[in-house]
Structure 1
Amino acid sequence: MIMASRAIKLWRSFARPAAANRGFATATEPRMKAYWPTASFLSHGEQHASKSNKAEFVPVYVALGLIALSVSLGLFTAEHQIAHNPSVRVSKKRREEIPEITDPDRVVSESDQLLNRSLFRKVVVVYRDAVTHAK
């Protein structure tokens, strides 16, 4: 019943010419104002707009932070592999040699460093200990 009366009022407003000049409620703001706002109104509005703009970029900041985290972990892993891998030689003198034959003690120590200083291996050990203690 209520919906029918609303529909009738709507059709009557379309039929009357005076009601046709009246605007319906919309979600958009009018484009032009009849007056120029004061300076204090503008500064207050800019502060409010800047806070809302910052809130709009939160997902972007989160995505950039995750990208930066993944890049830093990748660079750390690459540096770790190059610095501590026993088969990687930076100096030209040692590149020509077979390190397992000429200096086996150094290869063993570098292999231990590679395994013991790995960040991801430490994370796995902590996770494995937590899982075994939870059982």
Structure 2
Amino acid sequence: MQLRWLFNSPVKVTVKTVTKGRLPGEPELTSAESETEKTQGVFLTGRSLLTFPGATAAVLLVWQALGIMFPAILSSHWAPFILSMLVGLFIYVVGITDPKTILSRRDKLIALPIAFVNALQVFTAVIGISLLGK
């Protein structure tokens, strides 16, 4: 199918191959690692939840679910604001604490206000504020 690239993203997979001794208890003879590229459905990964639509859907879902249990929450904009900030903070922390990250301390500090603005954008999308005005 020619459109698979739209729905699948490349993923590097490390495969470890171990050749053991012929008799029980013998030490391993060889051990090798190889890296190959596979694909994974983009809708099936945790990464899809960390996108703008995923974060917005998560905040909206939690807000509405809490509203069923506590109806007063639905009339307050504080609940989706706090949830948006928590989701934004979570995504920020996950991004900067990755051991494979190449962000410097300066880059991490610059990313903080960007994460805040993105969290505000999630909040406005959840409560339906138009950024263009009325």
Higher helix share: 1
TM-score (norm 1): 0.30
Richer in strand (by share): 2
TM-score (norm 2): 0.31
In our comparison, the structure showing a higher alpha carbon Rg is 1
Q: Between the two structures, name the one with larger relative contact order (CA 8 Å, sep ≥ 6).
A: 2
